Amino acid sequence: MEASFWHEKWQLQQIGFHQPQVNPFLVKYWSTLTVDNSAEVFVPLCGKSLDMCYLAEQGHDVVGCELSQTAVEDFFSDNNLPVSMTSQAEHQFFCADQVTLIQGDIFTLPLTATKSIQAFYDRAALIAWPEQMRQQYAQQLAKLIPAKVKGLLITLDYPQAELNGPPFAVSPQWIEQYLAPYFEIELLECADVLAENPRFINKNVSWLNEAAYKLTRKA
């Protein structure tokens, strides 16, 4: 999937993947990570997610990475946050009080950008990639997350043949095969959310599950 796909989606505001509210699983399960309120939290492929506002409200400093500059600028303008911008190589750093959004390709993000994080949150990144790129992303995420750091991962799973992604289906078996080499994995909840997603109903998708996992980077 080319970068131009996501740039076009944001430019045309075809952003059905953007949730207009904080994810319920984030509210329900973030505390299970038992990280300090002052912990720095990494949010890959963050878009302009309100989940970052929730994390900041808990006291966290948030570091997001997002390909689209439109999404980054929208986050700060939508939330009326004054922002300053600096550049480091091919990435731009947009900084407010508790939120730093790094605009650029996550696959070329330097490891120094996440060296001080103490937690991470992935709701939109893993499910954004088709199969081959998802495997590459899993390897990159493992490189970016320091040892023993905990994270909350939220996925969607459905019969992939019934609907073209994104979001793409990520099964428990996929999680076990491609993330277990790097992370300790604990399934927190798996819920049937088909009734809450009209797009999937309209496309005659037969079932849709949302799952929350607690991940801990292996040493």
- C-alpha to C-alpha distances, 107 to 18, 140, 144, 178, 190, nearest whole angstrom: 22, 7, 10, 17, 29
Nearest residue to 18 via CA among 27, 30, 4, 6: 6
Instruction: Give the count of beta carbons closer than 10 Å to the beta carbon of residue 173.
Output: 9
Cα(135)–Cα(129) distance, rounded to whole angstroms? 9
pLDDT for 17:
53
Q: Select from 33, 210, 1, 30 the least CA-distant residue to 124.
A: 210
Q: Is 90 helix (H, G, I), strand (E, B) or coil?
A: coil
Q: In the CATH scheme, what is the code of domain 3-12+21-217?
A: 3.40.50.150
pLDDT recorded at residue 10: 46
DSSP 164: -
SS3 of residue 124 by DSSP:
coil
pLDDT in tens, the chain (219 residues): 565 664 565 455 554 554 678 999 999 999 999 999 999 999 999 999 999 999 999 999 999 999 999 999 999 999 999 999 999 999 999 999 999 999 999 999 999 999 999 999 999 999 999 999 999 999 999 999 999 999 999 999 999 999 988 999 999 999 999 999 999 999 999 999 999 999 999 999 999 999 999 999 999
Taking the C-alpha atoms of residue 143 and residue 187, their distance in angstroms, rounded to an integer, is: 22
pLDDT score recorded for residue 125: 94
Tell me, what's the pLDDT at 20?
75
